[in-house]
Amino acid sequence: MHKFESRTVEKSRALRGEIMVPGDKSISHRAIMFASLAKGESRVRGLLRGEDCLSTLKAFQSMGIEVVESGTDELIIQGRGLDGLQEPADLIDCGNSGTTMRLMSGILAAQPFFSVLTGDQYLRQRPMGRVIKPLAAMGAKILGRAGNSKAPLAIDGGGLKPTEYRSPVASAQVKSALLLAGMQIEGTTIVYEPHLSRDHSERMLRYFGAEIESFAGGARVTGPVSLTGREVEVPGDISSAAFFLVAGLIVPDSELLLKNVGVNPTRSGIIDILQQMGGSIELLNRRELSGEPVADLLVKSSDLHGIEIGGELVPRAIDEFPVVSVAAAFADGVTTIRDAKELRVKETDRIAAICATLGKLGARIEPREEGMRITGGLPLCGGTVSSYGDHRIAMSMAVAALQTTAAVKIEDSGCTATSFPGFWELLIAIQG
Ligand code: S3P
């Protein structure tokens, strides 16, 4: 449980420095999962030690996986293969992490034992039918609260057959849950999605030796796959970098170099959005780390203008809309966000939370069923806002506060530990 602390952030002078953001959350979850399911030892460097990923780590430890720390930033995971997990003796607590719960549902649906997944008050409200239904169509026996739609989920694993599933939502968690079930059983499982969602599962499974194919409308795996322990370097999280990209753009005379950030095209929508808004962001030193593209990002303060955002750009920036909205509030003109209904079922209803928080600071922002309309360029005032227990709302408010006319107090700010331990310290460090 987070400490219900609060933080006050004041208007900042120019931001300067070279910074590293913590490891990518999505990639860290997958590194723990696939290293555990691989045969032999994996060494993972740069893993995010946020609460979400620690939930995944504890889940595998509770199923008999041995994990040791080595040196300052390396975790050694002794994988036991697809059939090496043991039945957990207790509930698996996924905390606040939707990725843990949905991906574990797919993994555990194919394991020959009983398991129960639960989570915090927010996660227990989030829709799980989107993975339960297609997994049930593969023969999975999963029972959940609220007519099989919410956690806790009880899973009586085993007895699956492959499927071909057309997902109504572009969701990497849904896609991954099915691929992770399908990869453990005989036959070919195919998942189609309306727009390409993040492809970290496909990339990392390939990196661990699985035959898995990505194509324009989805992905296909033929199981059972054989995964072999590897060395994994986790890049910095572009979703965490996003807060500093927007901070660097909106605070005058700023220049920040964000080193070693993952720029996978299924995740880099935030760079496209901010560049389209007139932001100066350069990608330097492009390279590849463990199958993932990486770059250093140089951001300089810029005059931003409003744009229209929708379509395939939405899943490519799905976690960044809280901070995109902050950029829009400081941009000249109108920004319209469409096709973003998924924001309603994130850690909180983010359309409601963004409108409430930014609105309280004086922004002109109107909710839409599937997005928002923001008229930017008006000065934002100080005040007290709640994070609604959502890490990305807390950090977005901190970024906005760097340019408000008076201080902003952010209540329930401890939730930043979900994805970004050290956020507040880094925010102070770049203010010189
Ligand atoms: C994630 C997928 C996305 C994203 C979440 C992490 C993942 O969720 O919002 O923060 O690691 O697969 P959806 O699959 O629900 O879009």
pLDDT tens for 317-358 read 999 999 999 999 999 999 999 999 999 999 999 999 999 999
Ligand 1: list residues with CB < 6 Å.
26, 29, 99, 171-173, 176, 197-198, 318-319, 342
User: Nearest Cα to 118, choosing from 147, 145, 89?
Assistant: 145
Strand order across the 6-9 sheet:
6-9, 408-411, 383-386
Give first-to-last CA distance, the chain, whole Å: 32
How far, in Å, from the CA of 99 to the mean position of ligand 1?
Answer: 6
Rounded-to-integer distance, Cα 229 and Cα 132, Å: 29
> Of the residues 120, 319, 390, 412, which is catalytic?
319
How far, in Å, from the CA of 370 to the mean position of ligand 1?
Answer: 17
Task: Work out the number of other CB atoms within 10 angstroms of the CB of residue 245.
Answer: 25
Rounded-to-integer distance, Cα 189 and Cα 164, Å: 6
Ligand 1 atom with minimal separation from the 173 CA: 14
Taking only the tens place, the pLDDT of each residue in 353-400 is: 999 999 999 999 999 999 999 999 999 999 999 999 999 999 999 999
Ligand 1 atom with minimal separation from the 239 CA: 10
Rounded-to-integer distance, Cα 235 and Cα 264, Å: 10
pLDDT at 3: 57
How far, in Å, from the CA of 236 to the mean position of ligand 1?
Answer: 16
pLDDT at 72: 83
Task: Please name the residue whose Cα sits nearest to atom 9 of ligand 1.
Answer: 319
Residue in 99, 105, 197, 420 to alter for ligand 1 test, most ligand atoms within 8 A of Cβ: 99
| Residue environment code for 30-57, b if the CB has 16+ CB neighbours within 10 A, otherwise e | bbbbbbbbbbeebbbbbbbebbbbbbbb
Residue in 103, 173, 174, 204 to alter for ligand 1 test, most ligand atoms within 8 A of Cβ: 173
User: Nearest Cα to 347, choosing from 123, 71, 54?
Assistant: 123
| Residue environment code for 90-112, b if the CB has 16+ CB neighbours within 10 A, otherwise e | eebbbbbbbbbbbbbbbbbbbbe
Domain extents in the chain: 6-23+236-429, 25-233
Check the CA dihedral 429-430-431-432 and report its sign: positive
CATH architecture of 25-233: Alpha-beta prism (3.65)
How far, in Å, from the CA of 214 to the mean position of ligand 1?
Answer: 18
- Asked if domains 6-23+236-429 and 25-233 share a fold, the reply is yes
Ligand 1 atom with minimal separation from the 175 CA: 14
How far, in Å, from the CA of 207 to the mean position of ligand 1?
Answer: 20
Low-confidence ranges of the chain (pLDDT < 50): 1
User: How many helices and strands in the chain, by DSSP H and E?
Assistant: 13, 23
Ligand 1 atom with minimal separation from the 345 CA: 15
Parallel/antiparallel/unpaired status of strands 333-337 and 66-70: unpaired
Task: Please name the residue whose Cα sits nearest to atom 16 of ligand 1.
Answer: 171
Rounded-to-integer distance, Cα 350 and Cα 335, Å: 16
Task: Please name the residue whose Cα sits nearest to atom 4 of ligand 1.
Answer: 319
Residue in 26, 312, 348 to alter for ligand 1 test, most ligand atoms within 8 A of Cβ: 26
| Residue environment code for 249-277, b if the CB has 16+ CB neighbours within 10 A, otherwise e | bbbeebebbbbbbbbbebbbbbbebbeeb
The tokens for 372 are 């928002």
How far, in Å, from the CA of 84 to the mean position of ligand 1?
Answer: 27
Rounded-to-integer distance, Cα 236 and Cα 24, Å: 5
- CA 398, 399, 401 angle in degrees (round to 5)? 65
φ and ψ at residue 366, rounded to 5 degrees = -120, 130
The alpha helices in 213-349, defined as continuous H runs, are 238-250, 269-276, 321-329
Distances (CA, A) of 391 to 52, 191, 193, 428: 11, 30, 27, 18
Place of tokens 């931001």: 15
pLDDT at 97: 98
C-alpha of 356 from chain center: 22
Instruction: Give yes or no: 319 in active site.
Output: yes
Rounded-to-integer distance, Cα 330 and Cα 246, Å: 10
Ligand 1 atom with minimal separation from the 25 CA: 11
pLDDT at 267: 98
List all residues 6 or more positions away from 105 whose beta carbon is below 8 Å from its beta carbon. 117, 128, 131, 132, 135, 142, 153, 155, 177
For 6-23+236-429, which CATH superfamily applies? Enolpyruvate transferase domain (3.65.10.10)
Note the pTM of the prediction, 2 decimals: 0.98
